[in-house]
Amino acid sequence: MTGRAREPCDTPDPRRAHPRRRAVLRWLLLVLGAGGVAVLALGLWTYWREARAPRFDPATTTLHFSEIGDGPRKMVLIHGLAGSARYWTGRVASLRPDHVLLIPDLLGFGQSPKPRARYDLDDHLAALEPLILRRGFDAGKALIVGHSLGAVIALGMASRHPAWFEGTVLIGMPVFRDRAEAVARLGQHSVFFRGMLERDGLTRASHYVRALWRWPWLAPLFGLPADIYLDAMDHTWNSLTGTLDATILGTDYRALMAGAATVPLLFLHGQDDGVAPVAGARALAGQWTNARFVAVPGADHQLLLKQTDGVWSLVRAFEQDALTTGRTASQTR
């Protein structure tokens, strides 16, 4: 019995079916692996660079600063948390003709040194005091203005050296009832800040690879101008968390107000501020006769960025009033 020869099977060998697809997959895995190694290397390098920073020594630490304007009056401008001098420098054109403006990068931020430190109020003041003395802003004729964290430091400076300043302006002063309110407020504003306050490990890891999203086109996603967004990356984990915990949340504001009892104070606050509670700042100001509180309608925590002319108009009026009326001893209400 003769049989018919079997014809070769037309079914393709799956091992040879898609060589191009397998090659693409291999390259994709290689790229992903190399990317993962690069991200890990970036994180380790950033961690190592921050960990090997020298310890803070006020005697040898010099803050970076800008000094602009050529007018007869003087003003010190202090930026907020994760900020820099550039928060102010592009928004002071109306002040330049009649002011000299001293605008520092705070310790641990911007282009200033970022040593290992506690980053409490004492550290920030110890770094800032020599600059104010060296540039001659300590003669009692200067106004000191701070935003957010900068408001805390401005109040601290006026409390420690009330004779240095003719008045103090506190913009968006962050006065929280307790840490829980701070976590709720700041966490609503930023997932990163919530993770930082809750000591989340993933948040800390993301800090060390933050260079990956240092792109100006991302700034609108955070509602910030590109210069301020990019400068918000210029800090260390130590400077950011230390300042938040030890200065913003760890300072006795009532004690500072008592020390600045002879200095005229102006609290400016956005009525719609979702970061720093309006009620907390209003209550603090309301306890002292040398303090005035102004809530700006339609403004949030970044009222300087969105209502620049209005802010400087209020500051100028306060400055003129401080020059005219001078100082009076203050009491709690």
Q: What is the pLDDT of residue 211?
A: 87
In sequence order, what are the beta bridge partners of 180? none
* H-assigned helices in 216-277: 226-231, 237-242, 253-259
How many residues would you count in the chain? Answer: 333
Q: Measured at the alpha carbon of residue 248, what is the angle toward residues 244 and 254, in degrees to the nearest 5?
A: 165
Strand 65-68 relative to strand 99-104: parallel, antiparallel, unpaired? antiparallel
Q: What is the pLDDT of residue 297?
A: 94
Instruction: State the residue for tokens 């700034």.
Output: 219
CATH architecture of 65-178+224-325: 3-Layer(aba) Sandwich (3.40)
pLDDT in single tens digits along all 333 residues of the chain: 455 555 555 555 555 556 777 776 777 777 667 666 677 776 788 889 999 999 999 999 999 999 999 999 999 999 999 999 999 999 999 999 999 999 999 999 999 999 999 999 999 999 999 999 999 999 999 999 999 999 999 999 999 999 999 999 999 999 999 988 998 888 887 888 888 888 888 888 888 988 888 889 888 888 888 999 999 999 999 999 999 999 999 999 999 999 999 999 999 999 999 999 999 999 999 999 999 999 999 999 999 999 999 999 999 999 998 877 765 445 565
The CA-to-CA distance between both ends of the chain, in Å, stands at: 119
CA distances from 238 to 119, 146, 223, 308 (A): 8, 22, 25, 31
The CA distance from 181 to 185, in Å, is 6
Domain ranges across the chain: 22-52, 65-178+224-325
Within its chain, how far is the Cα of 38 from the centroid?
28
